[in-house]
Chain A
Amino acid sequence: MDIKQLEQIKDTTFKNVGNRFTHAQLDGMNFDRQVLVCCSTGCSSESSQKIRERLAKLVEEKGLKRVHVGGTGCFGLCAAGPVVVVYPDGTFYSHVKPEDADEIVESHLVNNVEVQRLLYVDADGKTKPINEIESYCKQMRHALRNCGVIDPENIDEYIAREGYFALYKALTQMTRDEVVDVVTESGLRGRGGAGFLTGRKWKFTKDATGDKKYVCCNADEGDPGAFMDRSVLEGDPHCVVEAMAIAAYAVGADQGYVYVRAEYPIAVERLQKAIDQARAYGLLGNNIFGTDFCFDLEIRLGAGAFVCGEETALMTSIEGHRGEPRPRPPFPAQKGLFGKPTLLNNVETYANVAQIVLHGAESYNTIGTERSKGTKVFALGGKINNTGLVEIPMGTSLKEIIYDIGGGIPNGKAFKAAQTGGPSGGCIPASLQDIPIDYESLSAIGSMMGSGGLIVLDEDNCMVDIAKFYLQFTVDESCGKCTPCRIGTRRLYEMLCKVTEGKATLEDLDKMEELCYYIKDNSLCGLGQSAPNPVLSTLKYFREEYLAHVVEHRCPAGVCKSLLKYVIDAEKCKGCTLCARNCPANAISGTVKQPHQIDADKCLKCGICASKCRFGAISKM
Chain B
Amino acid sequence: MISLKINNIPVYVNEGSTILEAARSIGIKIPTLCHMKELSELGACRVCVVEVKGMRNLVAACEYPVSEGMEVFTNTPRVLNSRKTTIELILSDHRQDCLSCERNTNCELQRLSHKYDCDSRRFEGRTADFVYDDTTEYLIRDNSKCILCRRCIAVCKRQQGVGAIGVNERGFKTHVACPFDMDLVNTNCIGCGQCINVCPTGALQEKPEILRVQQALANPEKYVVVGTAPSVRAALAELFDMPMGINCQGKINTALRYLGCDKVFDINCSADFTIMEEANELVDRIKNGGKLPMFTSCCPGWVSHIEKNYPELIGHLSSCKSPQGMFGALVKHVFVKRENINPKDIFVVAVMPCTAKKGEKNRTFTDGLADIDAVITTRELSGLLKENGILLNELPDSETDSPFGEYTGAGMIFGATGGVMEAALRTAVSVLDPNAKLLPLEFSEVRGLDGVKEATYIVGGKPVKVAVVNGLKNVKTVCDKVKSGECDYSFVEVMTCPGGCVMGGGQPIRATIVKHRDEVAKARAGVLYSADRSMFARRSHNNGSLLKIYDEFLDRPNSELAHKLLHTHYTPRPKYIKE
| A305-B170, A483-B86, A524-B46 given; A490·B125 CB < 8 A | yes
Query: A486 near B: Cβ within 8 Å?
Result: yes
Query: B43 near A: Cβ within 8 Å?
Result: yes
> What residues on B are CB-neighbors of A487 within 8 Å?
89-90, 92-93, 123, 172
Query: B169 near A: Cβ within 8 Å?
Result: yes
Complexed CA–CA distance, A488 and B45 (Å):
12
Is A486's CB under 8 angstroms from B172's CB?
A: yes
Which of these, A477, A494, A524, contacts B170 with CB under 8 Å?
A477
With both chains docked as a complex, state the minimum distance between the C-beta of B49 and any C-beta of chain A, in angstroms. 6
Complexed CA–CA distance, A329 and B52 (Å):
13
Is B89's CB under 8 angstroms from A488's CB?
A: yes
Interface SS of chain A: helix, strand, loop or mixed?
helix
> What residues on B are CB-neighbors of A481 within 8 Å?
42, 44, 148, 174
Query: A480 near B: Cβ within 8 Å?
Result: yes
Contact segment of B1-9, B55-63, B224-232, B254-262? B55-63
> What residues on B are CB-neighbors of A521 within 8 Å?
57-58, 78, 82
Is A482's CB under 8 angstroms from B171's CB?
A: no
> What residues on A are CB-neighbors of B60 within 8 Å?
327, 524
Query: A475 near B: Cβ within 8 Å?
Result: yes
Is B166's CB under 8 angstroms from A482's CB?
A: no
Query: B167 near A: Cβ within 8 Å?
Result: yes
> What residues on B are CB-neighbors of A141 within 8 Å?
none
Which of these, A327, A477, A488, A529, contacts B43 with CB under 8 Å?
A327
With both chains docked as a complex, state the minimum distance between the C-beta of A495 and any C-beta of chain B, in angstroms. 8
Is B166's CB under 8 angstroms from A484's CB?
A: no
> What residues on B are CB-neighbors of A479 within 8 Å?
170-171, 174
Residue of B46, B82, B86, B92 with most partner-chain A CB within 10 A: B46
Complexed CA–CA distance, A193 and B41 (Å):
28
With both chains docked as a complex, state the minimum distance between the C-beta of B77 and any C-beta of chain A, in angstroms. 12
Is A491's CB under 8 angstroms from B89's CB?
A: yes
With both chains docked as a complex, state the minimum distance between the C-beta of B131 and any C-beta of chain A, in angstroms. 15
Is A480's CB under 8 angstroms from B171's CB?
A: yes
Query: B65 near A: Cβ within 8 Å?
Result: yes
Is A524's CB under 8 angstroms from B44's CB?
A: yes
> What residues on A are CB-neighbors of B89 within 8 Å?
483-484, 487-488, 491
Complexed CA–CA distance, A430 and B213 (Å):
74
Query: B462 near A: Cβ within 8 Å?
Result: no
Which of these, B43, B81, B172, contacts A475 with CB under 8 Å?
B172
> What residues on A are CB-neighbors of B65 within 8 Å?
329
Binary A-proximity of B42-84 (CB < 8 A = 1, otherwise 0): 1111110100000001101001110000000000001001100
> What residues on A are CB-neighbors of B287 within 8 Å?
none
Which of these, A474, A480, A483, A490, contacts B45 with CB under 8 Å?
A483
Is B46's CB under 8 angstroms from A480's CB?
A: no
Is A480's CB under 8 angstroms from B172's CB?
A: yes
Complexed CA–CA distance, A307 and B41 (Å):
20
Which of these, B45, B125, B148, B170, contacts A491 with CB under 8 Å?
B125
Query: A561 near B: Cβ within 8 Å?
Result: no
> What residues on A are CB-neighbors of B166 within 8 Å?
322
Which of these, A477, A480, A529, contacts B57 with CB under 8 Å?
A529
Binary A-proximity of B90-105 (CB < 8 A = 1, otherwise 0): 1011000000000000
Is B57's CB under 8 angstroms from A522's CB?
A: yes
With both chains docked as a complex, state the minimum distance between the C-beta of B79 and any C-beta of chain A, in angstroms. 10
Query: A518 near B: Cβ within 8 Å?
Result: yes
Contacts between the two chains (Cβ within 8 Å), count: 101
Is A486's CB under 8 angstroms from B86's CB?
A: no
Query: B578 near A: Cβ within 8 Å?
Result: no
Name the residue on A nearest B123 (C-beta): A491
- How many A residues, CB 8 Å from partner? 31
Complexed CA–CA distance, A489 and B173 (Å):
12
A509-566 contacts to B, CB under 8 A, are: 515, 518, 520-524, 529
With both chains docked as a complex, state the minimum distance between the C-beta of B260 and any C-beta of chain A, in angstroms. 47
Query: A349 near B: Cβ within 8 Å?
Result: no
Complexed CA–CA distance, A305 and B49 (Å):
27
Query: B515 near A: Cβ within 8 Å?
Result: no
B97-151 contacts to A, CB under 8 A, are: 123, 125-126, 148
With both chains docked as a complex, state the minimum distance between the C-beta of B27 and any C-beta of chain A, in angstroms. 25
> What residues on A are CB-neighbors of B169 within 8 Å?
480
Binary A-proximity of B169-194 (CB < 8 A = 1, otherwise 0): 11111100000000000000000000
Query: A362 near B: Cβ within 8 Å?
Result: no
Query: A476 near B: Cβ within 8 Å?
Result: yes
Complexed CA–CA distance, A329 and B66 (Å):
10
> What residues on A are CB-neighbors of B126 within 8 Å?
490, 494
Query: A345 near B: Cβ within 8 Å?
Result: no
Query: A385 near B: Cβ within 8 Å?
Result: no
Query: B85 near A: Cβ within 8 Å?
Result: yes
Is A490's CB under 8 angstroms from B43's CB?
A: no
Is A327's CB under 8 angstroms from B92's CB?
A: no
Name the residue on B nearest A472 (C-beta): B171
Name the residue on A nearest B83 (C-beta): A522
> What residues on B are CB-neighbors of A483 within 8 Å?
44-47, 86, 89-90, 148
Query: A231 near B: Cβ within 8 Å?
Result: no
> What residues on A are CB-neighbors of B148 within 8 Å?
480-481, 483, 486
> What residues on A are CB-neighbors of B173 within 8 Å?
480
Complexed CA–CA distance, A477 and B171 (Å):
5
| A322-B166, A327-B64, A522-B86 given; A476·B45 CB < 8 A | no
With both chains docked as a complex, state the minimum distance between the C-beta of A513 and any C-beta of chain B, in angstroms. 13
Complexed CA–CA distance, A412 and B92 (Å):
46
Name the residue on B nearest A515 (C-beta): B85
Query: A478 near B: Cβ within 8 Å?
Result: yes
> What residues on B are CB-neighbors of A475 within 8 Å?
171-172
Is A522's CB under 8 angstroms from B123's CB?
A: no
> What residues on A are CB-neighbors of B44 within 8 Å?
481-483, 524
| A475-B171, A480-B167, A486-B172 given; A518·B63 CB < 8 A | no
> What residues on A are CB-neighbors of B125 within 8 Å?
490-491, 494
Name the residue on A nearest B57 (C-beta): A521
Complexed CA–CA distance, A477 and B170 (Å):
6
With both chains docked as a complex, state the minimum distance between the C-beta of A564 and any C-beta of chain B, in angstroms. 24
Complexed CA–CA distance, A523 and B171 (Å):
14
**Given A484-B86, A486-B172, A522-B49, 15 extra CB contacts under 8 A:** A305-B170, A475-B171, A478-B174, A479-B170, A481-B174, A483-B86, A486-B148, A488-B89, A490-B171, A490-B172, A491-B123, A518-B82, A520-B57, A521-B58, A523-B57
Interface of A with B (CB < 8 Å)? 305, 307, 322, 327, 329, 474-484, 486-491, 494, 515, 518, 520-524, 529
Q: Give 22 CB contacts A-B under 8 Å.
A: A327-B42, A327-B43, A329-B65, A475-B171, A478-B171, A478-B172, A479-B174, A481-B174, A482-B45, A484-B89, A488-B89, A489-B172, A490-B172, A491-B92, A494-B126, A515-B85, A518-B85, A521-B58, A521-B82, A522-B85, A523-B46, A529-B57
Interface of B with A (CB < 8 Å)? 41-47, 49, 57-58, 60, 63-65, 78, 81-82, 85-86, 89-90, 92-93, 123, 125-126, 148, 166-167, 169-174
